[in-house]
Chains A and B, each alone.
Chain A
Amino acid sequence: MAKVLVVTSGKGGVGKTTSTAALGAALAQQGKNVVVVDFDVGLRNLDLVMGAERRVVYDLINVVQGDAKLAQALIRDKRIDNLCLLPASQTRDKDALTEDGVARVMEELKEKFDWIICDSPAGIERGAQLAMRHADVAVVVTNPEVSSVRDSDRIIGMLDSKTLKAERGERMEKHLLLTRYDPLRAERGDMLKVDDVLEILSIPLLGIIPESQEVLRASNIGQPVTVSNISSAPARAYIDAAKRLQGETLVVTIPADRRAGLFGKLFGRRAA
């Protein structure tokens, strides 16, 4: 059965698009049929992070409005056969996304794919609500920092009230993905601890993605980090998170890049 997953956060710039690309690629690398859908109308970026920006012809709004068929708008990844992108429009107004239109596209995607991963725009307005509307599962992307945690709390409230699942009285499956985590700063006591964030938000932990220059490198060359450097710390964290999404139970560790040296390794082990 197809699963619709929304990657959301409330706060901007916390790593939603990075995580959508990395989780989507990781699930595809694990053999699933995956589509990543960009809901960030007007500010699309998922195409860039996936390295498909020059292959966009039609977009989500064209499909929603019936100007293009779904098959015309889907862009197949060059490296991973079972991974597709449905880009957002860069020029159109975000009001062009209608609720009925999105519902139709989602139904069609569910017939074709195992995982439909929706990259939410920042904020709590209409765009973010449309992105979460059809979700079965939510990944709440949070940085260990006060304003991000507060916004995540807001978004969790919306997931529990504004989604179709919530309106049917069902329980929305929610996971916390802690990103841009800096073990050095955590050790010094100047960054919220993992346990603090978990206690405050009280949703289960999907993974901890360390702050890493590999993420920037990956976006520079237009590849999800699980493709650009599969053995890097963030890639390993995303790969494990993708396995957990499929029901595997793995102990959460904080992977460190090799160059982080002895300290990173020691800490990684202690945090395991």
Chain B
Amino acid sequence: MNILSLFLKRNTAPVARERLQILLAHERAVVGGSDLVAVLREEILAVIAKHMQIDPGAVRVKMDRNQSLSTLEVEVDIPAPSGARPGDKPAETAAEDETPKAKVA
């Protein structure tokens, strides 16, 4: 070990973090099936919850795997826009009609 390497010695925690992220992404994909869907649901929920308050049951994830076409269907109910007063019936209905749905092939 020379002087330079002493100074350059990195903390080990970031390496651990990186290795785990790569490994777990792989292991989750291999396990697949219901596990993967549940993991996706939790993570999508967590990401959205960072920006708005949503019900834990508001995220539904479905995966269909076929020879020719595989789809991942993510359905999220989001709350009415913050401008709308609670109990503001028409706005709520409108928000429900416009529930965004994302489909990724």
Contacts and interface: CB of A to CB of B under 8 A. Distances in A.
Interface of A: 145-146, 149-150, 153-154, 156-158, 160-161, 166, 171, 186, 188-193, 196, 200, 202-203
Contacts of B39: 156-157, 160, 202
Contacts of B46: 202
A212 B40 CA distance: 36
Interface of B: 11-14, 16-17, 19-21, 23-24, 27-28, 31, 33-35, 38-39, 41-43, 46, 56-57
Contact of A149 (B20, B41, B56): B20
A48 B56 CA distance: 39
14 contacts: A146-B16, A146-B19, A153-B24, A156-B39, A157-B28, A157-B39, A160-B34, A160-B39, A166-B38, A190-B12, A192-B20, A196-B17, A200-B21, A202-B43
Contacts of A146: 16, 19-20
Given A190-B13, A196-B17, 5 more contacts: A149-B20, A153-B24, A157-B28, A157-B38, A188-B11
Interface hub of B23, B27, B42, B56 (most chain A Cβ within 10 A): B42
Nearest to A185: B13
A191 B31 contact: no
A150 B24 contact: yes
B48 to A, nearest CB: 12
B28 to A, nearest CB: 7
Contacts of A149: 20
B34 A161 contact: yes
A103 B47 CA distance: 36
B20 A193 contact: no
A157 B28 CA distance: 8
Contacts of B11: 188-190
Contact of A150 (B20, B31, B57): B20
B42 A189 contact: no
B24 A161 contact: no
B27 to A, nearest CB: 7
Contacts of B38: 157, 160-161, 166
Contacts of B23: 150
A156 B12 CA distance: 26
B67 to A, nearest CB: 24
A261 to B, nearest CB: 23
Contacts of A193: 13, 17
A171 B43 CA distance: 13
Contacts of A196: 13, 16-17
A70 to B, nearest CB: 33
A189 B11 CA distance: 5
B5 to A, nearest CB: 16
A43 B46 CA distance: 37
B57 to A, nearest CB: 7
